[in-house]
Amino acid sequence: MLELRNLSKSYGGRPVLDQLSWHFKAGEFVAIMGDSGVGKSTLLNLIAGLDTPDAAPGDTPILVDGIAMSGLDDDAATRLRRARMGFIFQAFHVLPHLTLLQNVALPLLLNGLSTTRAAEMLAAVGLGGREHDFPHQISGGQMQRVAIARALVHRPALVLADEPTGNLDPDTADAILTLLQREIKATGACAIMVTHSQLAAKKTDKILHLSRNGLQETTIVKPFEQ
């Protein structure tokens, strides 16, 4: 589904990611952990095509469904993100001037699809009947539910989550992760979640540890800084 081939990125000559390689399979829920500043968010931005990797002409360091991200111009990368990716952010990024239903329907509208699935998705995340409420009328946990519904409504092949439970209390975080896990399995998407939380990581199929030595699978959750 997603392949990283010797992916490198440096800022001002300082390497952040160095020769990173991994193969992520469809239907897999993967946590990426690591110390602050090790390049976790950079990695997500590179996969999403929001940043460009260091690559020689002809290199294909990131392949999404067999499509080389580095070969795409800005418009093509935008279209790829729109059709095949879903995003979940720590700060929810729910649009304040749209209703919950309109927020969830956005990826469908952008892809020119019917918006009927938006209400189904909202019900699936436990917010049925709240379609016409606005984000300021709901709690942080409910906003993250809306964000999950929005990320999955158009059945993306790849879901990228950056600290999705970072702003939530432990009970709400657990409920959100259970929901995310269930919805990812239901849609068959590959999901990559960057997190510092050991509890969050334990909910995934696989935990990868990102360090200067690259990505390594681990079963031991290290006490990373919170």
Write out the residues near other proteins by the rule CB under 8 A: 48, 50, 75, 78-83, 85-87, 89, 91, 93, 95-98, 106-107, 110-111, 150
In angstroms, the CA 86 to CA 148 distance is 9
CB of residue 137 vs other proteins: minimum separation in angstroms? 16
* CB-nearer residue toward other proteins: 61 or 156: 156
Q: Which tokens is 5 given?
A: 């081939």
CB of residue 110 vs other proteins: minimum separation in angstroms? 5
CB of residue 50 vs other proteins: minimum separation in angstroms? 6
* CB-nearer residue toward other proteins: 9 or 150: 150
**H or E stretch at 24:** strand 14-24
CB of residue 77 vs other proteins: minimum separation in angstroms? 9
Q: What is the β-pairing status of strands 62-64 and 29-33?
A: unpaired
CB of residue 183 vs other proteins: minimum separation in angstroms? 17
In angstroms, the CA 87 to CA 24 distance is 17
* CB-nearer residue toward other proteins: 154 or 209: 154
* CB-nearer residue toward other proteins: 7 or 160: 160
Which residue type occupies 119?
A
* CB-nearer residue toward other proteins: 105 or 177: 105
Phi, psi of 49 (to 5 degrees): 80, 20
* CB-nearer residue toward other proteins: 111 or 167: 111
CB of residue 89 vs other proteins: minimum separation in angstroms? 7
Cβ-based neighbours of 28, under 8 Å, separated by 6 or more: 1, 190, 191, 205, 206
| Residue 128 Cα to chain centre, angstroms | 24
Cα dihedral sign for 47, 209, 24, 108?
Answer: negative
Q: What is the β-pairing status of strands 206-211 and 214-218?
A: antiparallel
